[in-house]
Structure 1
Amino acid sequence: MSYDFQELPLDPEEAFLTLEDRFRRECEVAVQQAHEQENVSVYYTDYIAQVLGAAEELELVEAAFGETEVPQIENVDFQTYQNLVSG
């Protein structure tokens, strides 16, 4: 999916929140539209990778994740997603 990053807020924290919201909504839609036998973990992994990438690019990893250890993408599962969106 393409984005016009020029339209993001100039404040890095606001830009991150805007992106995180967009990524989460896309993930939720993809999961809802998945076929019964489809492995939806790929959608959760994509969401987390996008959020981590945005936090790194905007230099907000510590602000976004606090003292929580940032998960390695190969260790991501549904519980990681749940922890991220509820934390």
Structure 2
Amino acid sequence: MQNIDRHVDLWELFPFTPEVGYLGLTIVSFFGSLIPFVPIPSFVLVATMAVGEQFDIHVLVLIAAITSTAAKQIIFYASYGGRKIISEKLKNE
């Protein structure tokens, strides 16, 4: 039996991450969190971008946290305002 010593390079699996950059993470994290009930996990992108020294892990985490929070706030206020509109329509009928 042959001993195969081969490691998997994450850059081979996700070759798009160096080109994506911080702006790409911002877009993926925001729109991934904006779509309710269909999560697009941006943590996979954060994890692959965190490997190596090309990106600062602290900046990556801050971007992901801030954009995800902003998207969830939009969903909250839209549903809160929608509830008021629907309840007013039901009262008028």
Pairwise TM-score range, normalised by the shorter structure: 0.3 to 0.5
Bigger Cα Rg: 2
Scaled by the length of structure 1, what TM-score is found?
Answer: 0.41
Scaled by the length of structure 2, what TM-score is found?
Answer: 0.39
In terms of fraction of residues, the more helix-rich structure is 2
